[in-house]
Structure 1
Amino acid sequence: MEELDQYISGLFARMPDTSNRIELEDQVRDEAFGRYKALLDKGHSEAEALGLVIPRINEQEIRKQLEFGSKPVAAPFAARGYGSDRRRSKAETTEIELKVAEYHHFLPRFRMAMAIGVLLLIIGLVLAVWLGISYSNLLYAIVSFLIPAAVAIFVFIYFGMKHASFINYFRAKEVHEFLSPEMVKRLQRQKKRYREYEDERHFREFD
């Protein structure tokens, strides 16, 4: 709960100081806390609940409401990136939320695995140099490097493929906050070309 409160406080600290800022911050905090507690009651861990709640706080819509004062706009507590920019069914939204929570749970393990893989390569290189000098035997040096290197490569491939599966899912569902800016731009260009192609084909059919 404290992490969620700090996130919301930090978010509104970056916002313009308007007449409805305090009221809107209280509204967002109440809705976020309510959803967080509901997820805990359903059996989610604190990390999973945070992973589901935080991505749904729509910073852009909050900024719009602050700029337009009391003028009604979209709800500030919406699914950023996968709820406000396209229509989705409740089942699809729930599926994406679970995938987002799973991704947040996977990320620390992914980073740790990458660090371990790099460390194994360094250990293998150091062992190869040390054994090569100590025993003057090239075979010892090669074996001592290949074993840690093989484990490191397996770690890179396994966790890299799992990470790629998440990214491919988010790309297919257009969950842009987990994609790189370059990938988002590329997807937008592809969609634009596809729409232009569809419009051109439609025009030819009725020509």
Structure 2
Amino acid sequence: MKTIISYLDNMFASLPKTMQMQQLKEEIEANMADKYNELKDEGKSENEAIGIVISEFGNIEELINEFDITFDKDEEKRPTLENEVVNDYLKTSKKSGVLIGIGVGLCVYGVALLILLTQLVEDGIIAVFSDEMGDVIGLIPLLLFVATAVGLFIYVGMMEDKFKYLDNGFKLSIEQQRTVKDSNDAFHKTYTKSISLA
């Protein structure tokens, strides 16, 4: 089986190191392992099993066409990000999501307080103020909350500005792609709950 893995490694060595190619390689390796084990169970020798598996593997170009994999010609020109940059980006994204959720919540609570205070003054529950003054009193928390939310949105924008250069494109290693995907999957539920709660 080591011979088959070495063969696969050599076949994929010259191809781009993308998540798509890694998935294709893993799928092919699993299929080859199944076929190898099946041939061994049928009584074939190790060399016979390896020979049959490799001969049935086919041409790498045919497999790429069969799985409809396309390559970005500019990908090789793009810089590869270092792990520190990827981790910093993930932390910033997570913090940004939380701050945006808080900002949205503040806007909603500001409007809710405006409506509540105005209604309490109109109903006479807060009889200290006139109706006109009740509208003004309701505006104070709204303006404070919205101003704080806008400050948070500006802060998030400034935090994310340091990653603007990524708009020009970049490459990630397979491990980095997995880290980003895992982080995104883990945070997606939290982000959705935060926005919904807000």
Instruction: Compute the TM-score of the two structures, normalised by the length of structure 1.
Output: 0.43
User: Which structure would you say has the larger Rg?
Assistant: 2
Instruction: Compute the TM-score of the two structures, normalised by the length of structure 2.
Output: 0.45
* Structure showing greater relative contact order (alpha-carbon pairs closer than 8 Å, 6 or more residues apart): 2
